[in-house]
């Protein structure tokens, strides 16, 4: 039995606002532990179809062995190991006509944090990898830390981690590299971060480490660019009346989703002094959630990782 485990965040709210119905076609762009997929399947079967995508082969294997075996109509589920940025090509390849709903949880699974051994968390000594898709050859965190310039490192930490001490930490990494062969383990990086911080805030090293590890993970996996592509391609795939729900866990992601959804709801963009509209622009969507939906106190009590989660849902007009 696979040990892949993840508690789906805002599950009740996702189902409430996306409202899957019998016979509809849905895409779970981030399969993970399969929580959303399982709940959606219960509502769209027997004639509906679910396309589930994940970069992690272990997530795919887990769903096949633990969940898909419970479904009598195996053709109703399509599992794809790929990046959700390719959602348009995936939907086309599998000949899914009319997508009624798309859901994506942009956060990390509990398994990725606790058991994957990829150096995503600073709370364990692991090799600095951070790649979501271990089957693809790409730049990992270790390469970035040991080869990027001071300016490049500072930019990553500042833009993707919003870390106040980005300059000091980048400088300390360069110093470490000059005195030692390389940074190899998560513990090496944590030690450097702690040393780089001014004395009054050294006791908050874990906070800075969390932001630096986040920044490296985002850089390694091109997470923000992937999210932008998912939003644009995913919305285009929706049938009229179809909905897209995105769950984010930090401000960078939420900001991208918020602004993109807002743009989709805009109509005429002509200057206010024009006597009549000449741009011909009409709203493409309407906000199902006027404000981001957050976890209840009860859910946070049962799953602390739900605390920063925000759900935004848009419907295609």
| 29 and 106 fall within a common domain | yes
Closest CA to 32 of 2, 10, 52: 52
Residue 302 maps to a domain: yes
Domain residues for the domain of 60 are 11-111+223-316
Residues β-bridged to residue 314: 244, 287
| 145 and 57 fall within a common domain | no
| 232 and 212 fall within a common domain | no
Residue 286 CA to residue 243 CA, distance in Å, equals: 10
Q: Which two tokens stand for residue 297?
A: 């106190």
| 149 and 277 fall within a common domain | no
Domain boundary among 185, 200, 221: 221
Most confident of 132-141, 155-164, 176-185: 155-164
The answer to whether 286 touches 317, Cβ cutoff 8 Å, is: yes
| Cβ contacts of 232 within 8 Å, gap of 6 or more | 260
Over 60: is that where the pLDDT of 114 sits? no
SS3 20: coil
The answer to whether 212 touches 193, Cβ cutoff 8 Å, is: yes
Residue with tokens 């944090």: 113
Distances (CA, A) of 155 to 25, 27, 122, 162, 169: 41, 34, 21, 10, 11
Predicted local distance difference test score (pLDDT) of residue 286: 97
Give the domain CATH number at 210: 1.10.150.170
Residue 81 maps to a domain: yes
| 243 and 211 fall within a common domain | no
pLDDT in tens, 3-60: 566 689 999 999 999 999 999 999 999 999 899 999 999 999 989 999 999 988 888 9
Residue 168 CA to residue 122 CA, distance in Å, equals: 19
| 86 and 227 fall within a common domain | yes
Domain boundary among 185, 203, 221: 221
Percent of the chain with pLDDT over 90: 75
Residue 210 maps to a domain: yes
| 103 and 34 fall within a common domain | yes
The answer to whether 308 touches 249, Cβ cutoff 8 Å, is: yes
**Helix, strand, coil percent values for the chain (each to nearest 5):** 50, 15, 35
Domain boundary among 221, 245, 279: 221
Q: Which two tokens stand for residue 26?
A: 């849905």
Number of domains in the chain: 2
Residue 310 CA to residue 14 CA, distance in Å, equals: 11
| 98 and 236 fall within a common domain | yes
- pLDDT confidence band for 1 (50 / 70 / 90): very low
Q: Is the peptide bond before 46 cis (omega within 30 degrees of 0)?
A: yes
Most confident of 74-78, 129-133, 242-246: 242-246
| 217 and 231 fall within a common domain | no
Q: Which two tokens stand for residue 285?
A: 């969507």
Residue 239 maps to a domain: yes
| 16 and 66 fall within a common domain | yes
| 237 and 88 fall within a common domain | yes
The answer to whether 104 touches 230, Cβ cutoff 8 Å, is: yes
Q: In what order do the strands lie in the sheet with 49-54?
A: 77-81, 49-54, 25-28, 99-105, 238-248, 310-316, 285-287
């Amino acid at each position: 039995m696979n040990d892949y485990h993840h508690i789906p965040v805002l599950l009740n709210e996702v189902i409430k606002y996306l409202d899957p119905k019998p016979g509809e076609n849905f895409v779970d762009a981030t399969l993970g532990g399969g929580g959303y997929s399982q709940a959606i399947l219960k509502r769209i079967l027997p004639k509906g179809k679910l396309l589930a995508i994940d970069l992690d082969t272990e997530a795919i294997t887990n769903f096949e062995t633990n969940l898909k075996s419970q479904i009598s109509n195996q053709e109703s589920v399509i599992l794809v190991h790929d990046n959700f940025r390719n959602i348009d090509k995936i939907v086309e390849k599998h000949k899914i006509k009319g997508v009624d709903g798309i859901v994506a949880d942009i956060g990390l699974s509990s398994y990725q944090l606790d058991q994957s051994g990829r150096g995503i968390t600073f709370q364990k000594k692991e090799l600095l990898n951070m790649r979501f898709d271990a089957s693809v050859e790409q730049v990992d965190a270790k390469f970035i830390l040991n080869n990027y310039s001071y300016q490049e490192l500072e930019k990553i930490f500042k833009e993707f981690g919003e870390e106040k001490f980005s300059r000091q930490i980048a400088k300390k990494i360069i110093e470490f590299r000059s005195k030692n062969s390389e940074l190899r383990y998560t513990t090496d990086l944590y030690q450097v971060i702690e040393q780089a911080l001014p004395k009054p805030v050294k006791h908050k090293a874990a906070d800075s480490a969390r932001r630096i590890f986040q920044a490296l993970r985002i850089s390694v996996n091109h997470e923000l660019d992937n999210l932008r592509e998912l939003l644009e391609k995913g919305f285009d795939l929706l049938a009229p009346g179809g909905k897209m729900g995105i769950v984010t866990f930090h401000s960078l992601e939420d900001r991208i989703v918020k602004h993109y959804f807002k743009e989709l709801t805009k109509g005429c963009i002509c200057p206010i002094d024009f006597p009549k509209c000449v741009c011909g622009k009409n709203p493409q969507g309407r906000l199902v959630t006027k404000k981001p939906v957050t976890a209840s106190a009860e859910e946070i009590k049962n799953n602390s990782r739900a605390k920063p989660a925000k759900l935004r849902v848009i419907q295609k007009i």
